[in-house]
Amino acid sequence: MYRSKTNKPKFGSRWREHFGFTPSLEHDKSGVIWVHAVSVGEVLASKKLVEMLVSKYPEHQVLVTTTTSTGAEQVSKFELDVIHRYMPIDFSWCVKRFLKSVKPDLLLVIETEVWPNTLHCVSHFGIPSMLINGRLSKKSAANYQRVRSLISPVLNHFERILTVHADDAKRFENLGVSASKVIVTGSIKYDVDLELEIASKGQELRQTLGEERLVLIAASTHQGEDEQVIHAYKLAKKQIDNLLLVLVPRHPERFDGVSEMLVSKGLKVTRRSESDNVEVISDIDVYLGDTMGEMLIMMAASDLVFMGGSLIGKKVGGHNFIEPALLSKYCLTGPSYFNFTDLAQQLIDVDGLKVIQNSKDLGDAIVEGFENASQSKLRGEAAYDIVLKNRGALKKSLEAISLLPLFNQ
């Protein structure tokens, strides 16, 4: 975690916070609501919730913790009255020191970050906790079943577990969580509203890329996947001469290596971090998205989306399809998307998502997507309708939070 990597924000002297040496909070509020969002994805997912907490409970200071420095960087971009600290490592002595310093009244955990010592200490200090946006895949549930006698008491420390799907709720109950504690709310990620600047910045970027070009974005790609995307891109470009690839690797430490790989394959590359002063980018093959927190802008500037983490076996399990659907983009995915099975099936049912098996399949799907542009547009609109259909989790989550004794004294 502390190894220095190119393009990765440094912890600096704040590494001490991971061991519980956390500066006390300077605020004039009467209490602290603690929201834990481990890294970038969880931080972005929690932004609307945090915003609503700040508005609804002005007497409380909102504290957001992350484990990663990239997550911390995203919190720093919140234009909200929030304080950031790093999450202590899951040793009791680290957690206890943290709790004594920040004195939280409530812990809200975003997605399934289940740390036994942390939850035990929080409960021991009399601090209620709630799991928001809880997901539990079939694979993870099977692994937990092997240690059910150990995991069940940990999960029952939560006052409430708010799950994305009914299947998630059932899996938590099968691990020994009381059914009265589990509520199916849906995903708060559906309730994300696109900021106006996303559309405007997306249009600006599209003008820079060239409005006459057809733009494919490969989002959140992993090691071993970029080469497959490039192979598919080259296959598709034989039939689509003005095709441009926007490639966004998942992890910032890979940016430089991916750039070198692209050049070694004879491709003309421009990096987003180096293109601010370029009015129009022409005659390039790949626009490398090597910045953090700008995925939606690059997606808004694209015509067709491939979602990464899905072409490298069963290791990752894909990434969230909500963002492209929110932007009314037709999306492609590899066969490994087990982390988002329910949403994927909803999108497949309305033809808003297509599953491909390999790089050749991907090349063919890219060509088909652009040759039938009007159909792809309709598919993207159908995907957006699925987002609208699934909204409401934020309201349900806030209602569950408001029922806690903390807010009814």
Gyration radius of the chain over CA positions: 22
Which position among 17, 42, 73, 159 bears the catalytic label?
42
Catalytic residue at 173? no
pLDDT digits (tens, 9 = 90+) for 272-305: 988 765 556 778 999 999 998 899 999 999 999 9
Same fold, 12-186+392-407 and 196-389: yes
Which top CATH class is 196-389? alpha beta
Q: Which residue has the higher pLDDT, 183 or 6?
A: 183
- Using CA atoms in the order 134, 396, 297, 336, what is the torsion angle rounded to 10 degrees? 30
**Model pLDDT, residue 196:** 79
- Quote the tokens at residue 368: 């088909």
**Model pLDDT, residue 277:** 54
pLDDT digits (tens, 9 = 90+) for 61-84: 999 999 999 899 999 988 899 999
Ranges of each domain in the chain: 12-186+392-407, 196-389
pLDDT score of 195 more than 90: no
In the chain, the amino acid numbered 191 is: D
Please identify which residue in the block is written with the tokens 């080469």.
227
Mean pLDDT, the chain, integer: 92
Indicate the pTM of the whole model. Answer: 0.79
**Model pLDDT, residue 148:** 93
Q: How far is CA 211 from CA 86, 205, 214, in A?
A: 42, 9, 8
pLDDT digits (tens, 9 = 90+) for 123-172: 999 999 999 999 888 888 999 999 999 999 999 999 999 999 888 999 99
Q: How far is CA 167 from CA 141, 156, 294, 308, 383, in A?
A: 11, 18, 32, 24, 22
Taking the C-alpha atoms of residue 75 and residue 69, their distance in angstroms, rounded to an integer, is: 10
Taking the C-alpha atoms of residue 259 and residue 269, their distance in angstroms, rounded to an integer, is: 7
pLDDT digits (tens, 9 = 90+) for 239-280: 999 999 999 999 888 999 999 999 999 999 999 988 765 556
Consecutive H or E run containing 298:
helix 295-300
pLDDT score of 7 more than 80: no
CATH number of this structure's domain 12-186+392-407:
3.40.50.11720
Handedness of CA 289, 344, 315, 75 (dihedral sign): positive
Sheet containing 82-86, strands listed edge to edge, beginning at the edge strand earlier in sequence = 82-86, 60-66, 31-36, 106-110, 129-134, 160-163, 182-184
pLDDT digits (tens, 9 = 90+) for 95-122: 999 999 999 999 999 998 889 999 999 9
